[in-house]
Amino acid sequence: MTFDFLHFPYPSRRMPVFSRKGMVATSQPLAAQAGIEILKKGGNAIDAAIATAAALTVVEPTSNGLGSDCFALVWTKGKLYGLNGSGPAPKSISIDKVKERGHEKMPAHGWIPVTVPGAPSAWAELSKRFGKLPLKELLKPAIEYAEEGYPLTPILGKNWAICYEEYKEKLKGEEFIPWFETFAPKGRAPKIGEMWSSPDHARTLRSIAETGGESYYRGEIAEKIAAFSKKHGGFLTEEDLAGYKAEWVDPIKMSYRGYDIWEIPPNGQGLVVLLALNIAKGFEFPAKDTVETYHKQIEAMKLAYTDGKAYITDPKEMEASVEELLSERYGERRRGEIGEEAIMPEPYDLSESGTVYLAAADEEGNMVSFIQSNYMDFGSGIVVPETGIALQNRGHDFSLDPSHPNALKPGKKTYHTIIPGFLTKGNEPVGPFGVMGGYMQPQGQFQVMMNTIDFCLNPQAALDAPRWQWIGGKKILVEPHFPISVAQALARKGHEVEYALDTGTFGRGQIIWRNPETGVLVGGTEPRTDGSIAAI
């Protein structure tokens, strides 16, 4: 197979990047450089991904941190491996206990929505199983950024300022003081181009590196997390942390026009991408920017999301199997519901998120698709004193309705929005891809995959192309550069089309493809963020 995806139909802000020996694509230039630095020292793509992920906790704290969850797809030695780095709810939490505190739904901030963080364990697992360099070496760049500081990039600075203003209004309790001390040390958000550092963050990274993550789950750091939780009425305990380990899983796939698209299985929402592709593969899409193409895409995604929200949860409690949901019969039945007019499914409410994604590849053929998130920007608003650990708020997605498929239970993993993707053809890897951004992620991946496979766009063009976003019901948001004639035609089909003022909610993606005949890599990075590709 040669590169089939090299069309250049859109005037792009950037052209795709080509290299032979290695590539890292992510949303922050300093993090991409951290990964390339590791490749130059003799590390492989897995090492580079870990180094980049650790650096991202420092240089993009608006989206992820040391209290994050993560997922990874790793291609090495002719096989694809999956790693689930999401953690369960604390063992002492329950629906009744949350309601006793006056909540009718799971809150977004504070200790209640905090589940066991999985990222440090996942880094250690990846390093032990597939890495070449010691974890101490991999975390050095992140430690240096945290100790010495770095200047804020434009999108990072913008998001940081927005979050600070929101948190200043919402986070009033004593438990939130460390967040402001860490991320607003001058009584405000740091400005674009201004230096920011976090010595506490550096110390925690160094401890993780020296102990292989043990101190985080069964040592000094775990004690600090649990003590702060207990002080402020949190449910997370030392026992919860000590019992956790990132889990190796078998990836799931959908065959689509000669390619296989791979995702992490539930509790991740990657199944939604595959459900949509299973519906779409029964249609013909002769041209990209037509009303029929967009209409069928939107309707397929609406049905896929309806099903995803109805079934995806902790895999031990799912009422329908992945095999059943991805069957030909099921896809055909759902496809038959798509007509000439917009339909009205009944999904659950969709919300926002904060996530980072990276793709890495080396000259040996190893490739990694990695995603890491605190959820909803900085996450819970909880920063553990003296650690720099900003904890995620993944438990916010649990329902307090006992009959709901994603009902809160002790030790249960919640529906998870973050999803890495991987593309293969036959027995050969094409490469990693991902689109971060909460409930936009399956929608972004679906559009990027169709841009790539159906319309043969190169990685940069596939990311640059205008996107749509289903909000719920018949409401569709489109980007400012979305074709107005198509938007008007969609409205005539019953879609409630609205132009967004900016591109901030339409996802942020990265792609790396590999030519198996030559080993040449080609990458695209997201114009909707401070995206960067580092290559050698």
SS3 of residue 453 by DSSP: helix
In contact, 257 and 454? CB cutoff 8 Å? yes
Helix (H) or strand (E) holding 55: helix 45-59
| Distance (Å) of CA 208 to CA 72, 139, 222, 246, 405 | 19, 9, 11, 15, 35
CA 287 to chain centre: 29
Token digits for 459? Answer: 């990685």
> Which amino acid, 60?
E
Catalytic one of 355, 417, 525, 529 = 355
CA distance 262 to 84: 14
Q: What is the DSSP string of 303-337?
A: HHHHHHHHH-S-GGG-SS-HHHHTSHHHHHHHHTT
Helix (H) or strand (E) holding 299: helix 291-311
CA distance 265 to 119: 17
Q: Which of 323, 313, 319, 119 is nearest to 204 (CA)?
A: 119
CA distance 443 to 409: 29
10 Å CB burial of residue 102 (0-12, 13-18, 19+) is: exposed
Which sign does the torsion angle of CA 144, 150, 155, 158 carry? positive
In contact, 26 and 34? CB cutoff 8 Å? no
Q: Which of 120, 117, 100, 143 is nearest to 50 (CA)?
A: 120
Q: Are strands 496-499 and 475-478 parallel, antiparallel or unpaired?
A: parallel
> Which amino acid, 497?
V
CA distance 460 to 5: 10
In contact, 63 and 436? CB cutoff 8 Å? yes
Q: Which of 427, 430, 428 is nearest to 523 (CA)?
A: 430
In contact, 375 and 392? CB cutoff 8 Å? yes
Which stretches of 369-483 are DSSP H helices? 441-453, 459-464
> Is there a catalytic annotation at residue 355?
yes
Q: Which of 394, 397, 416, 417 is nearest to 407 (CA)?
A: 397
Active-site residue set: 355
